[in-house]
């Protein structure tokens, strides 16, 4: 860590700070420049509160020399991580397509959609059994029954299942779920993340609506530091002033995350845009940007079919998209 | 709910939609204008997915006529709610000042700060025992021991205590806490909110970094719909492009929330700005904007005292501020 | 325009409003529903201030039935507009690659870069002669001399030139420039836009950092309403809380703009990200999202070459990128 | 300027960079720490492109030791600047209230509002003659005639006039305007700012919707560096995801700007919120935050009076507000 002091700081305040830093068990490397003093801290700085030191009125700024994340840091893991779910692989050149309905509604629905997306080339099935809803009056999912229907669809198609967990106490129900999804609203539910770190199961971690890439990585770090290294990151749009889509899909996060971490990064164009017509172009764009996979909503019910589903594709639309995705993979891989 | 159809929609699609809506148990009131058809939905619309209907390609827009929140809606509760915590009252003309350190660190510290803020006129004591931290490697609070130290400080000063809960499973430890604080990151932890609805204890609910006022109210609704009406809202800054403060304090939320809801609204200028020097002007501004209270960080430890504490005031700074706050209350009340 | 009144509005206020609306020369179509009154306004509503009417305390909301833009509205121009610059075409299936240095620095530099990008397949040459700079102390471009050097590079390579205009009074110097670029900061410089409407020359209009798509279209409308229909839109990133790139590239704007307008839409991945390594993936993503072209910074000078240029590619990097772009065009076209 | 190199940089690249920096006329102060090399640059660094150096792949980060603004920097001007407009003073303890209609509409209107706001204690009259409008089809102001009507109102009341300039070429019409206002959209119209620097007239400079405080100060610097030091800054809301007000009023900008600059800072609560009911609480909050003044919209026309004007107060509302503002000034001054 490097502490840059302000110009013209009184000598006694400087000494007070240096004594305090040494009292924390650090060695100091002082460099007196013409304009400023720079103090290099040598030793274990993990106990130093960077915000506190930054706020001292004699301090101009503080810089970490090493990133605060280790387990998910590309520097220490130069090779791409490949997460395996049965025969399915994600990362390190392996591209995954996850598809399925927003909510699991009935056996008929989930099996039909699972068959359709499998035929179109999907690798895994998604479907919500526990649904986070802004309003307490809205449908919150079929819960345990929904998980049961997903298992049936898995049995019928062989597709591994991906579904969202919201509450630590529901974990026992998720024992044979293939990939546990953590939604944007729970990205900083730290107790939940810590618990996921004790599992032997891949975690799909979605970026929060207002979270930076560093915060996303620190949340992955919570899981990995507890022993579970199988984390897949997911960009799904951030909240901005722009109002024509539900969120703003931040695709530059894909190559940037690839630079920072060895974890696979997939993209959810359905939730990011909230508009079915924008899903195919954004899915293709994510693929071209180098994403390791896509998670896409597909439905088969009549009211959606009557018109445009809010953000879901019809099976035939998904199928046409999946083919173009494969062609773009051919160009960039 | 009002559904406005697009101009020139084919008659058959219109009929398909109307049949579907009637199938949901609604009566329809059709108004054919020169430019558009407007369908009024009469009956219980709570089961209608507004996003889905909006997305239909024959629909121009959908408007709710009634807000989706009821328990916390000013329309149905014209009188201000007054939340009582022992002798302390918040709302309906009663202004509350909550003060204390960021984290509970030791008995000596918390008792000293509690005494100092009481002397300066604080009504309640705050202090973190369970701390949400972006990094898994950072200090996460003294936990149960911290709660114990808060109880000691309460015994010494008589100040009710306010402290943050992050995990449903820790609830038993919070039994004799006076006010449970829910932090910004948990504002949409819906299972936690639902559980809080079963308690007979005031909840201090902080606005999330990227949440709209409607979302904040819907989260209050989760608690209230489950039976606990004693909710205090807290504005503590939102995430924007502006980078000189940690967050952007959105003070217009105070009068706007007062228009929408009868719940008390307090402001946290310490976390919003993250800079001690900005805390007094923002505390005064919040008071002038009509807030029902303030929650402010105060510390007494030497490294903070050496310089500016990151966002905490010294007891004497807090005392001077509290006096000005009372004068401003005199002007606007 | 549709005006929805609030529930339970006093009859006399309703009548006052209706009289005022009729006084503006409109016919009214009233629809009294169970919950609300909806007033349809028939006639020329262009003189009605929608913000004013929305703000009336008896009004719940106001909706425009027709968009406020006409000249650039896809509804009235279903065919893609193709903008021609000499032999170069943009839009309607024609993809354009514009490349060149950030600033024109010397004859040697601009001619060398122009030759290199031409060899790699660029269709037009970009280069700044007038540079908007946040600081008055920074280099603001070679101005008239820079334009002269661009003309030399055009003569040497045959590439049409694209360069930024900041000030109406400089227009005479731009007479033989092929495409005038209007930067993000001038997107709402309305007097400048109006003046551009009197020219017979294509305009490259960049989206402002905090502007919605509607505002971008209204700015195009300023130019087109004055007679100049040759407008090319450009997405170049918006300002958000996300801090790892200079701006957040909003690629969903590309398909959304294609839905709203018949104008061509290109993307600037260099300014959006500000980081050279992110330019190729974002250029490929923009192509896959259906953009009608790219504008990319390319440099050839030694300090850039020593390391990574901030956001500029080397000619050989650009050349490799341009080839992949063509392959992706092959997939999606 | 301090350049921090990455860990483990090859010696030859380090030397190449140092040679290049010395070639720019700088002396270097090298400090080799255990983890990193820090290079202090001594001499005139104004010609160094900080973005370029930051982007070099051997560079970890670059920090300016001195802010890039000088004329408006509090460090070099510890005393508050007091801007005088006739007998009216702003800054250094002098509080100014500017009020008037959004647009100048007629002699009758502007004179009536001017008289009303003067009676309520306003110090200056505002009113738009040239109006920036998002749509080319909207009313853009009475222009020269509007300026003439403002002069009449000034003659009738003695109030100095404040009005917006959008175009350099209109400057001759503004010769006897007392304060020229530069709107949010023109905050980075650098040629316009430079021209204002040649005038002997106070400039009211509004913060742009997506501009940081540093950018606002750099724009003030454009004016001041050209010789005109009489700049008044104005916070008027920024663009965020929050959607219940037109913009988010960033009141912490007031004390922060006071720390960074000696220029007066006023607040516009009318444009920031766009909602009349929120104007009084936000005006009081701005006063309590330490603003040096307010600029508030006041109207007197019947359609506004019938109901709430979108964002304008009635004269009697303004009068009640002005009195409370004076009381709050009494508390904080």
Q: Kindly report the CA angle at D90 between D86 and D93, in degrees rounded to 5?
A: 130
> Which of residues A329 and C18 earns the better pLDDT score?
A329
Residue of B nearest to D324 (CA): B331
Give the list of residues 6+ apart from residue A111 with CB closer than 8 angstroms, or none.
A152, A153, A156, A157
In the 8-state DSSP scheme, what is residue A184? G
Give chains near D: 3+ CB pairs under 8 A. A, B, C
For A16, counting Cβ atoms within 10 Å of its Cβ (0-12 exposed, 13-18 middle, 19+ buried), the class is middle
Give chain B's count of helices (H) and strands (E).
11, 14
> What are the start-end ranges of the E strands in B94-235?
96-100, 124-126, 161-164, 179-182, 203-206, 231-235
Residue B294 forms beta bridges with which residues? B97, B267
Q: If we measure between CA atoms, which residue out of B293, B284, B283, B295 comes closest to residue B331? A: B284
Which ranges in C138-202 belong to alpha helices (H)? 144-157, 190-196
Q: If we measure between CA atoms, which residue out of D298, A243, D133, D305 comes closest to residue C46? A: D133
**Interface C:D, Cβ pairs < 8 A:** 135
In this predicted structure, the answer to whether residue C185 has a pLDDT above a threshold of 60 is: yes
For C143, counting Cβ atoms within 10 Å of its Cβ (0-12 exposed, 13-18 middle, 19+ buried), the class is middle
Q: Do C235 and C212 form a contact (C-beta atoms < 8 A)?
A: no
Q: Does D42 sit within 8 Å of A40, measured CB to CB?
A: no
Which of chain C's residues have a Cβ under 8 Å away from the Cβ of A286? 285
In angstroms, rounded to a whole number, what is the distance separating the alpha carbons of residues C275 and C283? 12
Q: Kindly report the CA angle at A124 between A120 and A127, in degrees rounded to 5?
A: 100
Residue of A nearest to B245 (CA): A55
Which of chain B's residues have a Cβ under 8 Å away from the Cβ of C31? 31, 33, 38
Q: Does D275 sit within 8 Å of C190, measured CB to CB?
A: no
Question: Which tokens hold the place of A12?
Answer: 């006694």
Q: Does B248 sit within 8 Å of D252, measured CB to CB?
A: yes
If one counts every other C-beta atom within 10 angstroms of the C-beta of residue B34, the result is 12
Per-residue pLDDT, averaged over A215-237, amounts to 97
> What are the start-end ranges of the E strands in chain B?
2-5, 27-32, 37-42, 59-63, 83-85, 88-90, 96-100, 124-126, 161-164, 179-182, 203-206, 231-235, 265-267, 293-297
Percent of chain D with pLDDT over 90: 68
Q: Which helix (H) or strand (E) holds D305?
A: helix D302-306
According to the model, what pLDDT value does residue A333 have?
81
Range in A162-166, B242-246, B278-282 with the lowest mean pLDDT: B242-246
Residue of C nearest to D24 (CA): C303
In this predicted structure, the answer to whether residue D269 has a pLDDT above a threshold of 50 is: yes
Mean pLDDT, chain D, whole residue set: 91
> pLDDT band at residue D158, thresholds of 50, 70 and 90?
very high
In this predicted structure, the answer to whether residue A298 has a pLDDT above a threshold of 50 is: yes
In this predicted structure, the answer to whether residue A142 has a pLDDT above a threshold of 50 is: yes
In this predicted structure, the answer to whether residue D205 has a pLDDT above a threshold of 90 is: yes
How would DSSP label each residue in A96-148? Answer: EEEEE-SB---HHHHHHHHHHHHHTT-SEEE-BSS---SSTTS----THHHHH
> pLDDT band at residue D34, thresholds of 50, 70 and 90?
low
In angstroms, rounded to a whole number, what is the distance separating the alpha carbons of residues B224 and B70? 9
How would DSSP label each residue in D145-214? Answer: HHHHHHHHHHHHH---EEEE---GGGGGGGTT-SEEEE-GGGTT-HHHHHHHTTSSS-EEEEPPTT--HH
Residue labelled with tokens 């618990």 = A195
> pLDDT band at residue D155, thresholds of 50, 70 and 90?
very high
Residue D181 forms beta bridges with which residues? D164, D204
Residue of A nearest to D246 (CA): A241
Distances (CA, A) of B82 to B216, B253, B326, D213: 19, 19, 19, 39
Q: Which helix (H) or strand (E) holds B329?
A: helix B315-332
Residue of D nearest to C239 (CA): D210
In this predicted structure, the answer to whether residue C309 has a pLDDT above a threshold of 60 is: no
> pLDDT band at residue C305, thresholds of 50, 70 and 90?
very low
> pLDDT band at residue D304, thresholds of 50, 70 and 90?
low
In this predicted structure, the answer to whether residue B308 has a pLDDT above a threshold of 50 is: no
Comparing CB atoms, the residue among A59, A136, A215 nearest residue B221 is: A136
Question: B289: helix, coil or strand?
Answer: coil
In this predicted structure, the answer to whether residue D14 has a pLDDT above a threshold of 50 is: yes
In angstroms, rounded to a whole number, what is the distance separating the alpha carbons of residues C90 and C83? 5
Minimum distance, in Å, between the CA of residue C159 and any CA atom of chain A: 28
User: For the segment A254-273, what is each residue's pLDDT rounded down to a tens digit?
Assistant: 999 999 999 999 999 999 99
Question: Which tokens hold the place of C302?
Answer: 């030694």
According to the model, what pLDDT value does residue D97 have?
98
The pTM (predicted TM-score) of the whole model is 0.91
Q: Does C29 sit within 8 Å of B33, measured CB to CB?
A: yes
User: For the segment C311-323, what is each residue's pLDDT rounded down to a tens digit?
Assistant: 889 999 999 999 9
Per-residue pLDDT, averaged over C222-233, amounts to 96
In the 8-state DSSP scheme, what is residue A235? E
In angstroms, rounded to a whole number, what is the distance separating the alpha carbons of residues D291 and D268? 10
According to the model, what pLDDT value does residue B304 have?
57
According to the model, what pLDDT value does residue D33 have?
66
Q: Does A238 sit within 8 Å of C252, measured CB to CB?
A: no
Residue of C nearest to D245 (CA): C55
Q: Does D36 sit within 8 Å of A31, measured CB to CB?
A: no
Which of chain B's residues have a Cβ under 8 Å away from the Cβ of C4? 2, 63
In this predicted structure, the answer to whether residue A226 has a pLDDT above a threshold of 50 is: yes
Mean pLDDT is highest, among A12-16, A238-242, B52-56, B274-278, for A238-242
**Interface A:D, Cβ pairs < 8 A:** 61
Which of chain A's residues have a Cβ under 8 Å away from the Cβ of C327? 331
Which of chain B's residues have a Cβ under 8 Å away from the Cβ of C44? none
In angstroms, rounded to a whole number, what is the distance separating the alpha carbons of residues A45 and A61? 16
Percent of chain C with pLDDT over 90: 68
Range in B238-242, C320-324, D91-95, D271-275 with the lowest mean pLDDT: D271-275
In angstroms, rounded to a whole number, what is the distance separating the alpha carbons of residues D209 and C211? 9
According to the model, what pLDDT value does residue B307 have?
43
Which ranges in C168-239 belong to alpha helices (H)? 190-196, 213-225
Per-residue pLDDT, averaged over D153-159, amounts to 98
According to the model, what pLDDT value does residue B85 have?
97
Q: Does D240 sit within 8 Å of B248, measured CB to CB?
A: yes
Per-residue pLDDT, averaged over B195-203, amounts to 97
Mean pLDDT, chain A, whole residue set: 91
> Which of residues A215 and D304 earns the better pLDDT score?
A215
Mean pLDDT, chain C, whole residue set: 91
Per-residue pLDDT, averaged over D191-212, amounts to 97
In this predicted structure, the answer to whether residue C65 has a pLDDT above a threshold of 80 is: no
According to the model, what pLDDT value does residue A65 have?
63
Q: Please say whether the dihedral angle defined by the alpha carbons of residues D240, D102, B288 and C61, taken in this order, is positive or negative.
A: negative
Q: Do C102 and C300 form a contact (C-beta atoms < 8 A)?
A: no
> pLDDT band at residue B173, thresholds of 50, 70 and 90?
very high
Comparing CB atoms, the residue among C210, C242, C259 nearest residue A212 is: C242
Q: Does D288 sit within 8 Å of B287, measured CB to CB?
A: yes
Q: Do D165 and C141 form a contact (C-beta atoms < 8 A)?
A: no
Q: Please say whether the dihedral angle defined by the alpha carbons of residues C182, C183, C188 and C190, taken in this order, is positive or negative.
A: negative
> Which of residues D75 and A239 earns the better pLDDT score?
A239
According to the model, what pLDDT value does residue C306 have?
45
Which of chain A's residues have a Cβ under 8 Å away from the Cβ of C246? none
According to the model, what pLDDT value does residue A308 have?
43
Give the list of residues 6+ apart from residue A288 with CB closer than 8 angstroms, or none.
A328, A331, A332, C281, C284, C285, C287, C288, C328
Comparing CB atoms, the residue among C240, C242, C277 nearest residue A259 is: C277
According to the model, what pLDDT value does residue A306 have?
45
Residue of C nearest to A260 (CA): C244
Q: Does C309 sit within 8 Å of D54, measured CB to CB?
A: no
Q: Over the Cα atoms of chain B, what is R_g?
A: 23
In the 8-state DSSP scheme, what is residue A81? P
Chain B positions with Cβ closer than 8 Å to C: 2, 4, 7, 29, 31, 33-36, 38, 40, 42, 60-61, 63, 65-66, 239-241, 243
Comparing CB atoms, the residue among C47, C52, C134 nearest residue D310 is: C52
How would DSSP label each residue in D197-266? Answer: TTSSS-EEEEPPTT--HHHHHHHHHHHHHTT---EEEEE--B--S--SSSSB--TTHHHHHHHH-SS-EE
**Interface B:C, Cβ pairs < 8 A:** 56
Q: Do B292 and B332 form a contact (C-beta atoms < 8 A)?
A: no
User: For the segment B239-253, what is each residue's pLDDT rounded down to a tens digit?
Assistant: 999 989 999 999 999
According to the model, what pLDDT value does residue D307 have?
43
User: For the segment A184-194, what is each residue's pLDDT rounded down to a tens digit?
Assistant: 999 999 999 99
In angstroms, rounded to a whole number, what is the distance separating the alpha carbons of residues B192 and B212? 20
Q: Does B13 sit within 8 Å of A307, measured CB to CB?
A: yes
User: For the segment A4-50, what is each residue's pLDDT rounded down to a tens digit?
Assistant: 888 778 888 888 888 888 887 888 878 776 667 778 787 777 767 77
> Which of residues D190 and C35 earns the better pLDDT score?
D190
User: For the segment C70-119, what is each residue's pLDDT rounded down to a tens digit?
Assistant: 899 998 899 999 999 999 999 999 999 999 998 898 999 999 999 999 99
Q: Over the Cα atoms of chain A, what is R_g?
A: 23
Comparing CB atoms, the residue among A238, A278, A324 nearest residue C256 is: A278
Q: If we measure between CA atoms, which residue out of A281, A331, A330, A290 comes closest to residue C327? A: A331
Q: Provide the ipTM.
A: 0.89
Give the list of residues 6+ apart from residue D8 with CB closer than 8 angstroms, or none.
none
Per-residue pLDDT, averaged over C206-223, amounts to 97
Residue labelled with tokens 């530069």 = D182
Q: How many residues does chain C have?
A: 333
In this predicted structure, the answer to whether residue A305 has a pLDDT above a threshold of 50 is: no
């Amino acid at each position: 860590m490097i502490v840059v002091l302000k110009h013209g700081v009184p000598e006694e305040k400087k000494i007070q700070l240096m004594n305090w830093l040494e009292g924390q068990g650090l060695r100091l490397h002082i460099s007196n420049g013409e304009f400023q003093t720079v103090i290099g801290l040598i030793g274990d700085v993990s106990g130093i509160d960077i915000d506190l030191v930054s706020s001292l009125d004699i301090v101009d700024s503080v810089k970490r020399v090493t990133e605060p994340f280790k387990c998910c840091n590309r520097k220490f893991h130069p090779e791409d991580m490949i997460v395996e779910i049965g025969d399915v692989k994600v990362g390190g050149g392996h591209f995954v397509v996850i598809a399925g309905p927003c909510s699991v509604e009935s056996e008929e629905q989930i099996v039909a959609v699972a068959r359709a997306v499998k035929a179109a080339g999907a690798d895994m099935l998604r479907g919500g059994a526990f649904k986070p809803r802004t309003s307490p009056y809205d449908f919150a999912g079929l819960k345990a029954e929904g998980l049961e229907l997903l298992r049936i669809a898995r049995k019928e198609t062989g597709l591994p299942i991906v579904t969202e967990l919201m509450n630590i106490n529901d974990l026992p129900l998720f024992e044979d779920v293939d990939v546990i999804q953590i939604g944007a609203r729970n990205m900083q539910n730290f107790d939940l993340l810590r618990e996921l770190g004790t599992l032997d199961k891949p975690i799909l971690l979605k970026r929060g609506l207002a979270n930076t890439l560093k915060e996303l990585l620190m949340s992955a770090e919570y899981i990995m530091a507890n022993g579970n290294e199988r984390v897949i990151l997911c960009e799904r749009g951030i909240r901005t002033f722009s109002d024509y889509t539900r969120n703003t899909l931040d695709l530059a996060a894909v190559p940037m995350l690839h630079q920072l971490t060895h974890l696979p990064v997939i993209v959810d164009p359905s939730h990011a845009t909230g508009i079915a017509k924008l899903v195919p172009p954004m899915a293709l764009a994510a693929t071209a940007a180098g994403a390791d996979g896509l998670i896409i909503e597909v439905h088969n019910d009549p009211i959606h079919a009557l018109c445009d589903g809010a953000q879901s594709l019809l099976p035939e639309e998904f199928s046409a998209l999946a083919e173009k995705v494969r062609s773009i993979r051919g160009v960039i891989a």
